[in-house]
Amino acid sequence: MPDKVYMLPNSPAPNKGMNFDAMRCNGCNQCVEVCPTDVMMPNPVKKTMPIVLYPEECWFCGACVEECERDAIRMTQPVGQTISVNWLRKETGEYFRLGMKNPPPPNLRPPSGEKRRRRRV
């Protein structure tokens, strides 16, 4: 049996959940300790950013981002999980977003392809 055990990080599946800023990270490993899924491990080189071993296991909970005192971690949500909350009115060029103070009036027209039914009297 060999004396050393090696752990190699998985290549990020479709994306990498967290991005570290090497200039800000001081290697305190607070993010490693707080991660509920053990996605990261402390780097054997002292005072360097942790190693992300299993990026596909990340829940995108943001616990690591909240725990980092130096704002060295940025969470990147997968494209499939992002929600489009902005829209543009083609006629006027007005730009709207969810949660704005003066939203546009609701669209009362029926969906396209749906015909209005006439009542027979």
Tens digits of residue pLDDT in 87-102: 777 888 887 777 677 7
- Answer yes or no: is 109 within a domain: no
Better-scored residue on pLDDT, 72 or 11:
72
pLDDT digits (tens, 9 = 90+) for 35-46: 999 999 999 999
Residue 55: closest CA among 94, 25, 13, 88: 13
Question: Which range marks the domain in which residue 45 is found?
Answer: 18-80
- Answer yes or no: is 52 within a domain: yes
Question: At 53, is the pLDDT very low, low, confident or very high (cuts 50, 70, 90)?
Answer: confident
- Answer yes or no: is 110 within a domain: no
Q: What's the mean pLDDT when you consider all of the chain?
A: 79
